[in-house]
Amino acid sequence: MATVGDLLRRARTILQEITQDGVRWTNAELLDWLNEAYATVLAIRPSANTINAKFACVVGTRQELPTEADRLLGVVRNLSTKAQGLIVTAVDRGTLDATRRRWHGEPQTEVIEHFMFDSLDPRRFYVYPPASAAARLEIIYSRVPEPHAQSEARADSAELLRLPESYAPILLDMVLARAFSKDAEHAANLQRATLHSQSAQAALGLKIQGAATASPNARAGAR
């Protein structure tokens, strides 16, 4: 598995930093940019770091994700005993608003049938019927990885990267883009910053396409 130390060493090699801690580009700076890169990757590809978790509903229709969550990706099923594993399906809130205009005030239950998600409010979702305090769900959400502590800003750091190893080249390009941007008043460095940024974006695009092609759902649909 790729480590923080591996990425810092590779970045220093490309930057031609010959010292262990760096002079023009220090390990501390490179680590800061690595931590920023995690958030950038998740903004483009939320499924890069997913959490499948039990979720205790609050009373009512409006539900809020845990504080560490970045956005909801899906609601799978009920987990309460009374619901007996009932699947929770996505519905359009506008349709429900038009057909059951008082649905927010209907009786509360632990058996949730539907959920509604708005991409403009990605950390919240609504459930129908309104949830009781006993309602439990299995949900999937994305989470921006915790930043690495500055104590890991060293060439021998064995701490693993927070994303799967296949993202290591993308993270490296993002770190290098920020590094060369530091000296962007020089045309050559500005060009290199742009090239590394474009490389990272292109690789993320290919990962999205590849994931869609390799998805078990895609293969099932082809049969």
Higher pLDDT pick, 62 / 203:
62
Distances 212 to 45, 52, 152, 165, 200 between C-alpha atoms, Å: 12, 20, 35, 19, 19
The CA distances from residue 67 to 50, 109, 113, 144, in Å, are 14, 25, 25, 11
* pTM (two decimals): 0.81
The string of pLDDT tens digits covering residues 20-77 is: 777 789 999 999 999 999 999 998 899 999 999 999 999 999 999 999 999 999 999 9
pLDDT score, position 150? 95
Residue 88 backbone dihedrals phi, psi, to 5 degrees: -105, 125
In this structure, of 40-54, 124-138, 140-154, 203-217, the range with the lowest mean pLDDT score is 203-217
pLDDT band at 223; cut points 50, 70, 90: very low
CA 115/CA 58 separation, integer angstroms: 14
Q: What angle (nearest 5°) sits at the alpha carbon of residue 13, between those of residues 157 and 171? A: 65
Chain Cα centroid distance, residue 155: 27
Strands 89-90 and 114-117: parallel
Provide the 8-state DSSP code for 55. E
- Mean per-residue pLDDT of the chain: 90
pLDDT digits (tens, 9 = 90+) for 111-121: 999 999 999 99
